[in-house]
Amino acid sequence: MTDKTLTRMDLADAVHSQVGLSRNDSADLVESVLGHVSDSLVAGETVKISSFGTFSVRDKAARVGRNPKTGEEVPIHPRRVLTFRPSHLMKDRVAAGNKS
């Protein structure tokens, strides 16, 4: 396993080299796509990217939690959480990478 992290700049460089847009246009395109995805999720919409996966927002109800160290009960407030469910193609591709 590597310690490499894929960044926005890496995505913009990939668009630049594979599509042929200028570096600035590539960076703007990546920002625009990520902005649309973020805005849709904030609005509570589901974002489905074919052959990749589905991003969705779940509302979690309030509940009582427990501090494992002290055993003290602590209220956990309701919140919205982001979930990602990978497609079967993505799962298969990642699993195939584990075998090498």
pLDDT of residue 64: 96
pLDDT of residue 3: 78
pLDDT of residue 100: 55
Q: How many angstroms separate the Cα of 7 from the Cα of each of 17, 20, 60, 83?
A: 16, 19, 30, 20
pLDDT of residue 72: 95
CATH class for the region spanning 44-99: few secondary structures
Domain ranges for the chain:
7-43, 44-99
Confidence grade of residue 2 (pLDDT, cut at 50, 70, 90) = low
Please name the amino acid found at residue 50: S
Looking up tokens 């501090």 gives 67
Tokens of 2: 């590597």
- Considering the entire predicted model, what is its pTM? 0.78
Please name the amino acid found at residue 81: V
Instruction: Examine the pLDDT at 99 and tell me if it is beyond 80.
Output: no
67-89 pLDDT per residue, tens = 999 999 999 999 999 999 999 99
pLDDT of residue 1: 52
Q: How many angstroms separate the Cα of 86 from the Cα of each of 33, 37, 55?
A: 19, 16, 9
